[in-house]
Chain A
């Protein structure tokens, strides 16, 4: 599996570098969105809470970016690969395709971390607001949250496999993801069942309020772990069902 992972991380990194203008325009777009929202906070926000709101905004933007990369990227990839025909070649590998796609999503997230850090640094410098970087806390938090995001990525991938023409849905999904990462899970118990919300809430607290690894309760970690593992599992199960359906209908090579 580590060779599959290495090959896919390398592929995503090469493509990110090779299409530098595309990558730069992505950075500019995200920065522009941040500037707009930042300006909004300055104009209409409560003056006393502007700093906190801005930090909240930066973390939410980071999470939104990650959500787009991990949850939606794979949907675009499946659609593109089906159009170009390479999807069937992925299915010719003796390694189960869901594992290749998992490696692809990990590769996509890792390659995009560079972009993520750049946007985050730009945002922090502009706003002169600094987030807390406690790696010991952030590493497990991000890892678990991203696993849950990949689970949703598999759901989207399954949808793309069977229905192909899901571009319109993907565009709308961007805004759904935006709401998901910005909504505090504490609003309602039911929100705990949704993907990503629990992780996003904890990451926000860690980065804006400086809550550390042990600052969160064991129960909170348990909820996060359960949420991520269940969504990842559900994603893989649904993806594999979609895969069977696509094979029964001969859809892998169609678009």
Chain B
């Protein structure tokens, strides 16, 4: 049974001033399997936060269904919440006038657990999130990164099967974002939780998530394993730098064999850019270079980053059609 099932979720809001109705989420459906780490990706205003909040039951959908471990969260929200904890966007999850430990104790108390019952777990979490030395400091005085780690620790303290994180690295500096990512990886893989995180930080998704659902303008445009998505977009583009110039015969052969060819000719060196349809085509290229015993200086293969994939998917919703085409290319 999937841990989270989201079925045809829709939500529209009237804009505050104009009253114009905006469709924030427009028929979103996906599932998250038990123990899976799913990244909900999308540009600003795509509907990620609204979707996460509907899964938490903080916003009621106009239509559609959310179930958590088989519990319908509209019909039985309180029961569903026993299995969900969430870190919501920004540094808005904690009481700034309470200390680190007091925050943990307070939120555990609100879940009906006594201070004594959670003492040991709090000590463990403070240790694993490197917050032990700060336990008696006011949240007010913590750095943004520490506040975020504490917010995640508070969510972990609830010991729920499902953890939802909305933009967990937003507003963090590069180093802290990396640290938070490491904690998320640990939570995901060592603790075996089902994690749904939203982000527009590609590094988080590429690093932490197995699968991604990309939403744009309130709709799902891609639902795919991260590794598959990277493979689909992986181009076989090579850049080869050779010493000196190519002969006219070599250039002619290259142009006839490889239609997508870039040649930067120089007296010292020539840079050849080529997109190969099949990986074994590289031997043909080498044969042409070998004819004149042209010295090869460097060979580079361009690598694809998730950011690029995301950019391409979101730019004009190329998703479904383009992905299918790419899939055909890969299979061919």
Contact = CB atoms under 8 A, between A and B. Distances in A.
A241 to B, nearest CB: 13
B60 A247 contact: yes
Contacts of A220: none
Interface stretch (A11-19, A49-57, A189-197): A11-19
A253 interface: yes
Given A86-B94, A92-B81, A93-B81, A250 B110 contact: no
B86 A250 contact: no
Interface stretch (B49-57, B182-190, B256-264): B49-57
A18 to B, nearest CB: 6
A253 B166 CA distance: 13
Chain A interface extent, by class? 20 to 34
Contact of A7 (B57, B85, B88, B110): B110
A241 B11 CA distance: 20
A175 B316 CA distance: 58
Contact of B50 (A1, A14, A250): A250
B112 interface: yes
A124 B94 CA distance: 41
Given A85-B92, A88-B88, A3 B112 contact: yes
Interface in B72-88: 78-79, 81-82, 84-86, 88
A121 interface: no
Contacts of A7: 105-106, 108-110, 115
B13 interface: yes
B113 interface: yes
Interface stretch (B35-43, B95-103, B191-199): B95-103
Given A3-B109, A89-B88, A89-B93, A94 B114 contact: no
Contact of A14 (B11, B60, B98, B109): B98
Nearest to B155: A92
Contacts of A85: 88, 90-93
A216 B219 CA distance: 66
B81 A247 contact: no
Contacts of A15: 97-98
Given A7-B105, A85-B92, A93 B114 contact: no
Contact of A1 (B82, B98, B112): B112
A100 B109 CA distance: 10
Nearest to B117: A3
A109 to B, nearest CB: 18
A6 B86 CA distance: 23
B59 interface: yes
B332 interface: no
A252 interface: yes
A6 B156 CA distance: 21
Contacts of B57: 91, 247
B111 interface: yes
A8 interface: yes
A91 B58 contact: yes
A86 B60 contact: no
A93 B56 CA distance: 10
A24 B82 CA distance: 41
Given A92-B85, A250-B53, A252-B58, 19 more contacts: A1-B112, A3-B109, A3-B113, A7-B105, A7-B108, A11-B95, A15-B97, A19-B97, A85-B92, A85-B93, A88-B53, A88-B88, A89-B86, A91-B57, A92-B84, A94-B81, A247-B57, A248-B59, A253-B58
11 contacts: A11-B98, A14-B102, A15-B97, A84-B92, A85-B88, A86-B93, A92-B56, A92-B84, A247-B60, A250-B50, A253-B92
Interface of A: 1, 3-4, 6-8, 10-11, 14-15, 18-19, 84-86, 88-96, 100, 244, 247-250, 252-253
Interface of B: 11, 13, 50, 53, 56-60, 78-79, 81-82, 84-86, 88, 90-98, 102, 105-115
| Shortest beta-carbon contacts, A-B, top 3 | A85-B92, A7-B109, A94-B81
